[in-house]
Amino acid sequence: MAVRPTLHPEVAAMLATLDAGFPDITAVPPTELRELIRDRRAPLQHLPDMREVTDLTIETADGNLALRIFRPHCGDPELPVVVFAHGGGFVFCDLDSHDELCRSMAQGAGVVVVSVDYRLAPEHAGPAAHDDVYAALEWTSKNAAEYGGDPTRIALAGDSAGGNLAATVAIAARDRGGPAVAAQVLLYPVIDDDFGTESYRLYGTGYYNTTKAMKWYWQQYAPNGTEDVRLVPTRAETLAGLPPAVVITAELDPPCSSGDAYAARLTADGVRVRHHRFDGLFHGFLTFPSLSLTAPAREQIWEMMRDVLDNA
């Protein structure tokens, strides 16, 4: 039987609170689940302060798509741009759920962030979310300069399910001759639906994100299977030619092993990779700013992003 790791006291306390208070997502209809999760959120603080925040809706081939653009206080006339896809198991979360994280990223990494309110499963099964993020990338490449962004330095980024979307859209941009992508930033990404990895075996229960939940998410997002490269990036024949990557994983996260393996495969295929696993931390920790370990972790990640974008 696996030995439970010794946890930082704050991590242990937060995991206990999350495990006790988070709804059983598999037992609640998605529409009701979204309302429950929204009701648990604290009011937006609109911090850190930005030079400009713009909400707008763009037209795509699949309908209207909402974006939120964060421009930080920075003296540079043109900043790198990050097209950001939020996490939430492809089923929940939105622009507000990741507002604070996007503001922190914009300020800390010195970037303009374009946050994407992509369509959610199961009402919109994959690759709907992928297609929305790709559409946002195309729009950003044409319009970034209007918001203080440098269209020659665009990165794709996302946390959890959003990390999957960033990875698959990077592949699509390569294969379709789409907009040039300077970097991909994958934050504890949900790479695939392999539930037999070491991290699933060790941390599939009792660490907030669970194997049961992950199976349910994939059932909602990919009801017809996961052979499509737009759903699972490892379905690509090769990862060669993809943009430099920042890959962040968390030890206590069931998808951790798949994220680590993806970083290794990117490296093997000749992609420049900066990979860091945060030991003792759990899935989603970057969206908990009250945790004392989050701020230093963020600063380390923002530094990695600055480095990859400065050398793009």
Residues noted as catalytic: 160
How far apart are the C-alpha atoms of 153 and 244, rounded to whole Å?
Answer: 12
Residue 251 phi/psi, 5-degree rounding, is -55, -45
Beta bridge partners of 187: 159, 248
DSSP 144: G
DSSP 197: S
DSSP 20: H
DSSP 311: T
Query: For the chain, how long is the longest CA-to-CA vector?
Result: 57
* Closest to 50 in 3D by CA, of 101, 98, 103, 114: 103
Total residues found in the chain within this entry: 312
